[in-house]
């Protein structure tokens, strides 16, 4: 049986010069090789087909703000900030429909020092899956290329038919 959990795109974030922060745009295209209009500075750890998209939760960003961290959408390098999805439901292999596109979650995105400035104590490990399970950003591969726009539906498809 297939169950679907729905949310929406709160923000689409890119940086044509690479790195962080990522800046808001109204729409873009998810491609097998990455996000149209976005660049990565360190291709050893970012980008490529298995890390084509980086996603993060608006609810987790809000919780981090409540902890006193000066974080906002796009600040930790996520391409898509998503609201309404229970982040604890995501894992490697999860299939997510977003706008015209479909992605598959590949792995947690390990944080690095380039995002330390958005944490009040510079402790970027606050969003490390190893240290704080359930607080990580996620990388994904693009299964179906397509246009995504702010406000588009996001559906986590859980289960097999």
Chain segment 3-32, per-residue pLDDT in tens: 567 999 999 999 999 889 999 999 999 999
pLDDT in tens, 62-118: 999 999 999 999 999 999 999 999 999 999 999 999 999 999 999 999 999 999 999
Please give the backbone phi and psi of residue 47, each rounded to the nearest 5 degrees, phi first: 80, -175
Domain locations along the chain:
3-158
| Partners of residue 103 on adjacent β-strands | 96, 142
C-alpha dihedral (28, 142, 5, 45), degrees to nearest 10: -90
Q: In what order do the strands lie in the sheet with 146-149?
A: 34-35, 27-31, 146-149
Residue 46 is given by DSSP the state S
Return the CATH fold of 3-158: M1 Pyruvate Kinase; Domain 3 (2.40.33)
Q: Which residues contact 43 (CB under 8 A, 6 or more apart)?
A: none
């Amino acid at each position: 049986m297939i169950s679907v959990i729905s949310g929406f795109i709160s923000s689409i974030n890119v940086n044509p010069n690479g790195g962080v922060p990522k800046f808001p745009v109204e729409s873009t295209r998810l491609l097998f090789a990455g996000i149209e209009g976005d660049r990565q500075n360190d291709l050893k750890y970012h980008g490529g087909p298995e890390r084509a998209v980086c996603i993060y939760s608006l609810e987790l960003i809000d919780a981090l703000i409540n902890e006193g961290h000066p974080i906002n959408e796009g600040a930790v390098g996520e391409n898509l900030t998503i609201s309404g999805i229970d982040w604890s439901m995501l894992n490697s292999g999860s299939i997510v429909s977003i706008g015209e596109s479909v992605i598959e979650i590949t792995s947690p995105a390990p944080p690095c020092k380039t995002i330390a400035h958005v944490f009040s104590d510079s402790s970027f490990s606050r969003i490390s899956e190893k240290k704080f399970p359930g607080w990580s950003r996620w990388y994904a591969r693009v299964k179906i290329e397509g246009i995504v726009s702010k406000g588009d539906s996001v559906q986590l498809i859980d289960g097999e038919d």
